[in-house]
Structure 1
């Protein structure tokens, strides 16, 4: 059966970073780009229709935040996570990474310590270090490609200067969906030490097991009150270029402080078209997302099975969430630059270097499998041919 996600949409020469930056990033345009975390799929038609309708009005002035936006978000969170979220818990921010930076600016000061759990999304590092805070790494524990939190290490590293932990939930790049029990243990440690948790939940809609994701703000109040969370339609509905995200906290003092800091930096408004896109997506996007999740899970299974049967030297555990695979190349015994050269020059693939996620990512590459299956098939065949050549 043909899926809407099988359609190949030409993105070259559209200003897309993923496709039109290949020369600058990889030194050649002769790579299949499977790196930047946006999808090669069309947005839901209701989103396109909403943006086109808004664009047809010839005045693009300052937009207010319509009540329909918050109603759409509340309805979405109730349907997808059975979460009752009052409007008073919600705010807007033009992007999750700007939101994380605003949280760092709001709740910490230069010299304070901030914990991240590595390997992790590179902007977590820069959001701490660029603002003059001290980075503390709490590396995840790996067992045959499966990662868990190291709570003992976390307890050892927290001291009086530790003010924040930035949580990737679900986790990028390893694809874990943290269980409620893991989250509660983490929250209890941070509560005990007065550490605020910033929960990046940008991938929370892209979870393959229904009901597996526990939004941090739904934990018991004594554990969730010391937290602030971010969601967005950017990954879910392929809206990254509209720079529109949502901030959530059940602690009105924390949320008010965050909003005040965001306003000081001029980040308290979001894009006119982003507003329309989010209203449409969070109102009408359920069926489209359910179809997308089935397709993405099929792509992940395809990669995993291909590697097991045809390139067993490379491994990938099927992620629990996201459209990002964490490829383990360590059995090939290639160093950082040698691995990068192999992937680009021999396999002709544009992936993310694992060590950009931290030293714990050495020997890994991250693959974005949010693309038509035919492109993924071509990618795997290129990789297989490159490994055979390496071993010949």
Structure 2
């Protein structure tokens, strides 16, 4: 079945938005940095939020706003993953869930494995929970990015007690394989460690790629793991504040149930209302259209970089709307996004924020119209042959 790609809003309308993406930089800058998209909301979300405003439904979030059952249905339809509703609990956002879960399974001073280049808040979340970071970088092979299972095994053998998994991985867009995740779970169980899997990008996995929820990877994964997810990335709801903590075994469920009630009270009512609409079957067509648009853009970016930014290295991602691009060959320093912002007026995410493995890299948000993406890369391309003004004035 042919799916019509979703169309982004016109840029003049987007500039009326008050979110970070459109207010962080002046109007002459094209913003392709923070993880917000430029598409209209799914109609079901718009309708339910509008009705809530009409009703003045702006109070406290109830214990069961319906999002557990909605997510159970979504997981079954999209991932063939059977989730039991009583194993789902809400909180404010994914990183809040990550921190609270770390506090459950670690003690102050414990080491937590991260796999750079990786989502920058991981570097803050672990210390917030009183832990130290242990870095085990991804391995880049000819086939793509992979977890360094031997390195993770060594880290756990050396005393690390937990790991923050990004699945699909941000910024590379890698959907880790079932085999890799099952092996990771066995390693963790052998060492008595826990895995907290951030799966916020999972709804954005392309149809030609299989997404494996960590908790469904194996029986061991269910015993050692937690998943934290949200509708916020796929459906552009970050400001509404609702995330889900999911478990798949009685022991792990009991741990989450032991969290203070306040953790759940932090859930935003509008986030829950919007999440129910996002995870409902009526929003599947919208999501499929979004994925079609992102598929076009992830391939368009490859063509644009080849034409305008020769030397750039880019792997088409499995999931998401974030593209990880290596610009080291251009000689623009460890943080090329600084030059690009200054000289091309295009805002990209700073590569070094993802770890030292991000030196020379940028992360590009492709959740926009093809015209905006094309304009941005053309601007960057003009810098490739142009002399660097800063170099001309250097002593």
Q: Which residue of 2 aligns with 1:18?
A: 21
Would the alpha carbon gap of residues 329 and 160 (structure 1) be closer, same or farther in structure 2, given more than 3 Å must change?
A: closer
Tell me by how many angstroms 1:31 deviates. 1.7
SS for the counterpart of 2:161 is: strand
**Structure 1 residues 301-341: Cα deviation after superposition (integer angstroms, max 9, x where no partner):** 0010111233221121111111000111010122225x233
**Partner SS for 1:187:** helix
Task: Sort the Cα spacing of 1:378 and 1:335 in 2 relative to 1 into closer, same or farther, 3 A.
Answer: same
Q: 1:5 aligns with which of 7, 24, 27?
A: 7
- 1:341 corresponds, among 338, 343, 349, to 338
Off by >6 Å, runs of 4+ in structure 1 = none
Could you give the per-residue CA deviations for residues 269-304 of structure 1, whole angstroms, max 9, x where no partner exists?
421112211111111211111111010010010010
Q: What is the Cα deviation at residue 181 of structure 1?
A: 0.7
The match for 1:202 among 197, 200, 203 is 200
Equivalent residue pairs, number: 385
Over 3 Å counting, the alpha-carbon distance change for 1:174 and 1:262 in structure 2 is farther
Given that 2:337 and 2:351 are in contact with CA atoms closer than 8 Å, whether structure 1 keeps it comes out as no
- Structure 1 Cα separation of the partners of residues 259 and 69 of structure 2: 25
Is the contact between residue 111 and residue 133 of structure 2 (CA under 8 Å) also seen in structure 1?
A: yes
Q: Which range is displaced more, 80-89 or 215-224?
A: 215-224
2:282 maps to 1:279: no
SS of structure 2 residue aligned to 1:285: helix
Q: Which deviates further from its counterpart, 351-360 or 277-286? A: 277-286
- Correspondence 1:73-152 to 2 at 5 A: 73-143=71-141, 146-152=144-150
Q: Is the 8 A contact 2:6 2:286 kept in 1?
A: no
The secondary structure found in structure 2 opposite 1:109 is: coil
Tell me if structure 2 keeps the 8 A contact 1:102–1:262.
no
Give secondary structure in 1 for the equivalent of 2:285.
helix
CA distance in 1, matches of 2:143, 2:383: 23
- The alpha-carbon distance between structure 1 residues 161 and 11, as it changes in their structure 2 partners (threshold 3 A), is same
Q: What CA distance in whole angstroms lies between the structure 2 residues aligned with 1:298 and 1:221?
A: 37
Q: Structure 1 residues 262, 358: closer, same or farther in 2, change over 3 A?
A: farther
What RMSD in Å do the two structures reach over aligned CA positions?
A: 2.1
Distance change (3 Å), C-alpha of 1:211 and 1:380: closer
Aligned in 2, Cα 1:116/1:262: closer, same or farther, shift over 3 Å?
Answer: farther
Aligned twin of 2:377: 380
Contact 1:169 1:177 in 2 (8 A): yes
Per the alignment, do residues 391 and 108 of structure 1 end up closer, same or farther by CA in structure 2, a change over 3 Å counting? same
- The corresponding residue for 2:393 is none
1:354 aligns with 2:357: no
Alignment of 1:1-392 (within 5 A): 4-8=6-10, 10-12=13-15, 14-22=17-25, 29-66=27-64, 68-143=66-141, 146-159=144-157, 161-210=159-208, 212-263=210-261, 265-283=262-280, 284-337=282-335, 339-390=336-387
Change (3 A) 1:262 1:99: farther
Is the contact made by 2:171 and 2:322 (CA closer than 8 Å) also made in structure 1? yes
CA 1:144–1:83 in 2, change beyond 3 Å: closer, same or farther? closer
Moved more, 162-171 or 61-70: 61-70
Q: Give the conservation status (yes or no) of the 8 Å contact 2:28–2:345.
A: yes
CA deviations over 1:79-131 (Å, ceiling 9, x no partner): 10111111121111111010111111111111111101111000111011233
- 1:19 Cα offset (Å): 1.4
Alpha-carbon separation, structure 1, partners of 2:209 and 2:359: 33
Whole-angstrom distance in 2 between the partners of 1:280 and 1:213: 22
Contact 2:223-2:248 within 8 A present in 1 as well: yes
SS of aligned partner of 2:226: strand
SS of equivalent residue, structure 2 residue 372: helix
